[in-house]
Amino acid sequence: MGKEELLARLKQKFFDESYEDEIVPVAQEIVAQGIDVLEAIQAASEAIRQVGDAYEAGELFLPDLMIAGEKMKRCMDIFRPHLKAGAGEAKGGKVVLGTVSGDIHDIGKNLVGTMLTVGGYELIDLGVDVPPLEFVTTARDKGADVLALSALMTASLPYQQEVIQLLKETGLREKVFVIVGGGPVTAEFAQRIGADGWAENAAGALKLVDRILAGGGKPAQTFVAIG
């Protein structure tokens, strides 16, 4: 079975009425054939987004969404060691990551965390449903270079803006870059709330952090979008 066929089969597994472990042989075959696991993660991420869209449209139900999430975790258990095998040396940047208040989705956040770790960054993962003040105090106490805010629910978007506002009020805004992402988050929204960057997916998030930390600019002075 060729690469394109395997990747298509991987994506289809997220929609099949199958148990979580039935996606494992497909992921294992991708690794066995030496296919770039970043391509496989990209394909799986696209499938997850499509499942989420179908759920929002009422075409799929909560159990379907939960099973898809478990399938993604099984895939990442297989792909992650091969990502780390190719990781570079630590770059020295420190990133605080989390899903904002009112949102308990962690698939996208976890993918971003994996990519940043693979990319050589020190990661502090606060988890999900994180209050704005916790982001700010952690960034201050840990000396973070970047705050990465995830939101998968439209109702949680204001909390991304609240984090930025709190950074301003505490005098930290010019010391910490803020990047945002998630299904309902657009580049236009990110720029409007005063974020430093936006990325469409986990691979883009790594490129975004690379760019803003290597660019020589300061927080709150430029905006970078990677689609």
CATH number of 73's domain: 1.10.1240.10
What span, in angstroms and rounded, lies between the C-alpha atoms of 110 and 201?
11
- When divided into structural domains, the chain yields a total of 2
Residues 213 and 138 reside in one and the same domain: yes
- Give domain status of residue 89, yes or no: no
Residues 110 and 168 reside in one and the same domain: yes
Query: How does pLDDT run across 152-168, given as a tens digit for each residue?
Result: 899 999 999 999 999 99
Contact 115, 65 (CB under 8 A): no
Structural domain including 44 reads 3-84
Least confident of 70-74, 141-145, 210-214: 70-74
Beta bridge partners of 125: 97
Q: Where is the domain boundary, 84, 116, 142?
A: 84
Query: How does pLDDT run across 210-222, given as a tens digit for each residue?
Result: 999 998 889 999 8
Q: Are strands 197-199 and 122-125 parallel, antiparallel or unpaired?
A: unpaired
Q: Where is the domain boundary, 84, 116, 134?
A: 84
What span, in angstroms and rounded, lies between the C-alpha atoms of 78 and 73?
9
What span, in angstroms and rounded, lies between the C-alpha atoms of 74 and 222?
38
Residues 28 and 137 reside in one and the same domain: no
pLDDT above 70 as % of the chain: 96
Residues 180 and 109 reside in one and the same domain: yes
Residues 125 and 222 reside in one and the same domain: yes
pLDDT above 90 as % of the chain: 58
